[in-house]
Amino acid sequence: DGGITQSPKYLFRKEGQNVTLSCEQNLNHDAMYWYRQDPGQGLRLIYYSQIVNDFQKGDIAEGYSVSREKKESFPLTVTSAQKNPTAFYLCASSTITGGELNTEAFFGQGTRLTVV
């Protein structure tokens, strides 16, 4: 079955540690996205990538890093520089046709990160 998989579902991090959230898709999608969801603030874009080895900062990239070494994978690292990392993180992917994002984005089931 094609889809997008995030792991782990729950993640606990000690203050000062870096953690990496996994996102894998087998939909052959060009674009991949990372969003952060906090109560009352909707989905805020962290990073996005339209092609392998290239990515762009979203609205809240500070304290996060990403890589896109393979089309299928777009891991997100939450660094110790992120002051308030406790949140729900969603990964998504979509196709780009004619240079435009014009189809629905498919989402993973999310990772709940908690700083302890």
Spatial separation of the C-alpha atoms in residues 13 and 17, rounded to whole Å: 7
Question: For another protein, which is the closer residue by CB, 59 or 62?
Answer: 59
Question: For another protein, which is the closer residue by CB, 25 or 94?
Answer: 94
Q: Is the previous residue joined to 75 through a cis bond, with omega within 30 degrees of 0? A: no
Spatial separation of the C-alpha atoms in residues 47 and 67, rounded to whole Å: 10
Give the contact letters, 1-30, x = binds to another protein (CB under 8 A), - = no.
Answer: ------------------------------
Question: For another protein, which is the closer residue by CB, 82 or 94?
Answer: 94
Residues facing residue 113 across a β-bridge? 11, 87
Question: For another protein, which is the closer residue by CB, 65 or 88?
Answer: 88
Spatial separation of the C-alpha atoms in residues 102 and 69, rounded to whole Å: 24
Q: Total number of residues binding another protein (CB under 8 A)?
A: 27
Candidates 14-22, 65-73, 77-85, 89-97 — which segment interacts with another protein by CB under 8 A? 89-97
Contact indicator for 79, 19 with CB cutoff of 8 Å:
no
The first and second tokens of residue 59, run together, are 């609205």
**List of residues contacting another protein (CB under 8 A):** 31, 33, 35, 40-45, 48, 50, 56, 58, 88, 90, 92, 94, 96, 99-102, 104-105, 107, 109-110
